[in-house]
Structures are given as structure tokens and as C-alpha cells.
Chain A
Amino acid sequence: MKALIIIAAVIVFLILIYLIQPRSRKLFIKNLLKQLFYLFPRYFT
């Protein structure tokens, strides 16, 4: 339970950090996050 609370707090903190970024930084981060899933298979190319 404690671990879950810590994880949730970290996520909320990261979301808050994201929200205060300028628009261009948000676009940059969004582009990275959208492709995060592909990084693992791309490492094997």
C-alpha cells in the first residue's frame, strides 16, 4: 500500500512538472513518451 502511494505521488509530481512546461517542451516530451514503447525493439535493429 505504501509503495503504491509513493508511486502515485511520483506520478502526480511528474504530471505537475509536465503541466508547467512551455508548449514546445510539452510537444518534445509528448513525442518521446509516444515512442517509449518502441525503444526496446529498436535497440535490436
Chain B
Amino acid sequence: MSDYDVVVIGAGCGGLGIGALLSHQGRKVLVVEQSNLIGGCCSTFEQKGYRIDLGASIIEFPQVIDWCFKRMGTSFFDEVDLVPVDPTFSAMLSDGTKVTYPLSLEETRKEIMRVAPEDVKGWDKYSKKFQGFIDTALDGFFVSPMNNFTDMVKLFAKTPALLKYNSLFFSSYEGVIRKYFKNEKIIESFSFHSFYAGQPPALLPGHFAMLPYAEHAGVYYSKGGMIGIPKGFQKCGEKSGMKIRLNTAVKKILVSKKRVRGVVLEDGTEITSDVVVSNINSRKMYLEMIGEEHLPWLAKAGLKSYTYSMATPMLYLCLNYTPPLEHHHTLMTLPMEKVNNYWFNHYLKGSFPKEQFGILSWTTRSDPSLAPKGHHIIAVTLAPGVYKLKGTTWDQEKPRLKEEIINYLDKTYLPGLKEHIVLAELSTPSDFEKRLRSPEGAIYALRQDLPHSMMFRPAAKSKHVKGLYLVGASTHPGGGVPTVIASAMIGADLIEKYEQ
């Protein structure tokens, strides 16, 4: 008799999502989390009276998250107090132009007409293409398992309309955006979105070009901080008996006769279970927690060939003035060409840029209660930072970089910033690694280019260890809040089918 029916390692949105779904199926579920907070990258910590989001600062594709809650007889909008974010974002271009994208497609069309009248037709075609893609792909591609070639064939057989969009998977994000838009300002305004999936515009598969469009289906912020979303799953799961243990790190996954038997915690305690769900980095999980002795050589070679996704340094700013911004999300952009050059000439060579680009997330714009009255919080997502800096380390560079970035923001996007900082904390890739135990501080676990996607990403149902399932950014469909929640639905379906 096992201690639990299912042990979930990691209380990120994927882990809590599947934990809640399996509890709702009537299983006895335990979720163990190494840190003192739930949510993983979608979490909120408190410091000196400010509630600061650790990573994610908005959610897109609310409908996907809603499907997950609906399976438990409730809805995303009932369980989580959501604030609509409108405009979806505004982009401050490198030449000083501001382009704002309201939620309404018609208003967005007007904005494009103002900035680049020649691209209005392109916008219409782009909208039509990606509305079609989202309608076709969302409830098929994103919530179907992609463990092997058969799964892929089944998906295309079930949704033959997807074949119409095949070319998107074999083009780059940049290629698709440039196909529809000719004006460099519009192209620049979409240049940072590719990093929402962890790759530069030249390398990210073209279907991700849906991201700027998808925001028009609704962008939301969770009142009280982004931790509200994992808390929603926690609440649903606990109603059905799900247990969560914080500050509980797993050292090993017990395997015998090619089947999981439970987990061993870092303090040596054994918890037995016939099903283990991993919501942690799959490369690390297989190679360190399962052990190479349980894996065939081809799988070991495959796992070792994976590259971790990019890391994102974040600067958390707590301020005693109202920042000179207008919207929740302001993108600091560079021309697409420069963004690609940054990746190839700096990121891959271990350096960090002086000219910053990224996101200014003014969270107190959507929820003033996150900070003391009259105070504000901006979480700055900086340019992707490679884990191994050339000739130095993040820990060494941190004080200098923090000062440099604050000076840069003060001179550019946030005049007056320096005089109004109450608290400023730079979180580097190495801090992310320590805090989340995510190797190399990778925010999307593994890279998200084509050779790391679908059946070439670790399978949701382990091919080598029975009873082992994967959720989260490490498996299909990849990193991002709605996608890891989609992986929770895929995992729950597989467990329902194979673990009676």
C-alpha cells in the first residue's frame, strides 16, 4: 500500500494544475515543493510591504487556463480575481515613437493606420491568419500529447485543418512577421515578443508569431500578484484533498523494475507512490534524480543534447513616486535586426548589453494594493542573460550591473527614477537558479526551437520509467503560464488512461 496515489514534484502552475485535476479524479495527491512559495516562475514574494512578482507579470490565453478549471466544475474567472489589462502593451521604439496596442482589434487597426498606413492590409491578413490558426490549433495542438510520431499523426488526422498552417512551423518568427508587415516601426514593436517563448526572432518557429495577436483575446493580471493563479489551483486541489508540503526538496525518484516507487526527500524520508509527476526541469530530473543507470544510451544522449532555455535577469523596483508610464506593460524595444544581433554577438558569446531592451511591468497600475499608498512597483524584465558570462560571474557583476541598469533607465524610460527608489533588487540567472533550482536559471526549462519541440521534447508519459509523467515547461507544449497548464491537462488525461 503506497503513501499516496500520486506524488507531484514541484508546485509550479503545471504541478498544482495536475495535482488539482488528479485530486478531482479522486486520487490521493501530495505536491512537494522545495521553496517556501508555490507558483514557480508565476509567483509573488513580499518584501518590506511590497508584493513583487517573481517572473510572469501577465497572462495570455485565459481560455486555456479556464479549460483546466472547467474540468473541476469551476472557472478561472470564479477562482482567481483577475484585472483586465488594456491596452495589451505599448512599445517604446528606439527612435522614440510610441505604439500602443489596445485590446480591441478595431482600435489596434486605427493605431497601425496612424503609425504605418501601408501595413493596415498586412494587419488584416495577419489577424485573419492567426485567428484561424488559434481556432484550429488551440484545443488540438496545445492540449494533445505529442509523445511520438503516432501522436502527431493522430493530431493531424483529428484536425486536418492544421495542415494548412504547416508552413508556420518551418519559418521563423521574424520571417512570418516580415511577411505581413513592411514598416520597420511595426516590426520593431513585435521584436521582443519572441522572447516570450525564449528565442530571438530569427530562431523562434513561426507559429509563435501568433503571440502579439493572441493578446487581443484578453490579457489579465491577477489581483494580489501573479501567485493568485497557482493559489486558484491550490484552492481547487485542497477542496478535493490534495496536500502540499513546502520547503520539501526531493533528492531521488525511486525506481525499481523500470517503474517508479516513490521519492526520497533530501532529509532521507521516503514517500511511496505508484505515480510520480515531475514539474521540474526534465533533463535534471532524468539525469540526477532517476539516474543514468535506469536510462538507455539513446535517451541519455538525447537528454544530454538538450540546451537549457534562456534566463532572464529581472530588476525589481519599489518606488515612492508614480512612474512616468501609462500602461501595465511597456516594451523597451530595439529593431529586430539588433535584437537578433544581440543574441548572436553578445548572448551566445557570454556578454550582457549596455543598451537594454525588455519589459517594464508596472504591476501597481493594475493593482495599487500591492504597494503602500502612493508607492509603486515596476518589475523590469531585462534582455536575456546567458548563464555563463565570459571572464566573470553574475554574482561578481551584480552590484555594477544594477547601478548601470538603473542609470540607463533613469536616462531613458523612467526619468526621475534614481531619486525615488525605496528598494531595488536585481535577480540574475544565478539567483533564479538558487531560488527555483532551475538549472542555469532557465525560465522555459529547455530551448523552444523546432529541434526542442513536440516529439523531440521529453515526453509527457515517460518512455523508460512506468508511472513517471512530466508536466511544466520541460515537456510539450513548452514554457509559459497557459502552456504549462495545458501540459497539466495532457498529463492528467494520460494518467487517467494508463494508471487505473
Interface residues, chain A, CB within 8 Å of chain B? 22-25, 27-28, 31-32, 35-36, 38-45
Is B36 part of the contact surface with A, judged by Cβ < 8 Å?
A: no
Q: Complex: how many Å from CA A42 to CA B476?
A: 13
Is B458 part of the contact surface with A, judged by Cβ < 8 Å?
A: yes
Closest A residue, CB atoms, query B203: A31
Q: Do B451 and A32 have beta carbons less than 8 Å apart?
A: yes
> Chain B's nearest CB lies how many Å from the CB of A42?
4
Residues of B within 8 A of A22 (CB): 175
Closest A residue, CB atoms, query B458: A45
Q: Do A43 and B456 have beta carbons less than 8 Å apart?
A: yes
Is B171 part of the contact surface with A, judged by Cβ < 8 Å?
A: yes
> Chain A's nearest CB lies how many Å from the CB of B300?
8
A-B contacts, CB under 8 A, total: 73
Closest B residue, CB atoms, query A31: B203
Residues of A within 8 A of B457 (CB): 42, 45
Interface size class of B (residues with CB under 8 A): 20 to 34
Q: Do A41 and B201 have beta carbons less than 8 Å apart?
A: no
> Chain B's nearest CB lies how many Å from the CB of A41?
3
A28-B171, A32-B449, A42-B452 known; 7 new pairs, CB 8 Å cut-off, are: A24-B174, A27-B340, A28-B172, A44-B298, A44-B302, A45-B458, A45-B463
Q: Complex: how many Å from CA A36 to CA B456?
A: 11
| 29 A-B pairs (CB sep. < 8 Å) | A24-B172, A24-B175, A24-B202, A25-B171, A25-B175, A27-B202, A27-B340, A28-B171, A28-B202, A28-B203, A31-B203, A32-B450, A32-B451, A35-B305, A35-B449, A35-B451, A40-B298, A40-B302, A41-B298, A41-B299, A41-B302, A41-B305, A42-B452, A42-B456, A43-B148, A43-B149, A44-B299, A45-B286, A45-B302
Residues of A within 8 A of B451 (CB): 31-32, 35-36, 38-39, 42
Q: Do B458 and A27 have beta carbons less than 8 Å apart?
A: no
> Chain B's nearest CB lies how many Å from the CB of A1?
34
Q: Complex: how many Å from CA A28 to CA B303?
A: 22
- Contact digits for B461-480, partner A, Cβ 8 Å, 1 yes 0 no: 00100000000000000000
> Chain B's nearest CB lies how many Å from the CB of A23?
8
Residues of B within 8 A of A44 (CB): 296, 298-299, 302, 463
Residues of A within 8 A of B175 (CB): 22, 24-25, 28
Q: Complex: how many Å from CA A25 to CA B455?
A: 23
A-B pairs with lowest CB-CB distance, top 5: A41-B302, A35-B451, A28-B172, A38-B305, A41-B301
Contact status of A45 and B303, CB under 8 A, knowing A31-B449, A39-B456: yes
Residues of B within 8 A of A45 (CB): 282, 286, 299, 302-303, 306, 457-459, 463
Q: Complex: how many Å from CA A36 to CA B278?
A: 27
Contact of A24 among B201, B301, B302, B452 (CB under 8 A): B201
Residues of A within 8 A of B455 (CB): 43
- Contact digits for B368-403, partner A, Cβ 8 Å, 1 yes 0 no: 000000000000000000000000000000000000
Contact status of A27 and B302, CB under 8 A, knowing A45-B458, A45-B463: no
Residues of A within 8 A of B301 (CB): 38, 41
Q: Do A38 and B302 have beta carbons less than 8 Å apart?
A: yes
Q: Complex: how many Å from CA A18 to CA B302?
A: 28
Closest B residue, CB atoms, query A28: B172
Residues of B within 8 A of A42 (CB): 302, 305-306, 451-452, 456-457
Closest B residue, CB atoms, query A41: B302
Q: Complex: how many Å from CA A45 to CA B202?
A: 27
In chain B, residues 283-315, which have Cβ atoms closer than 8 Å to a Cβ of chain A? 286, 296, 298-299, 301-303, 305-306
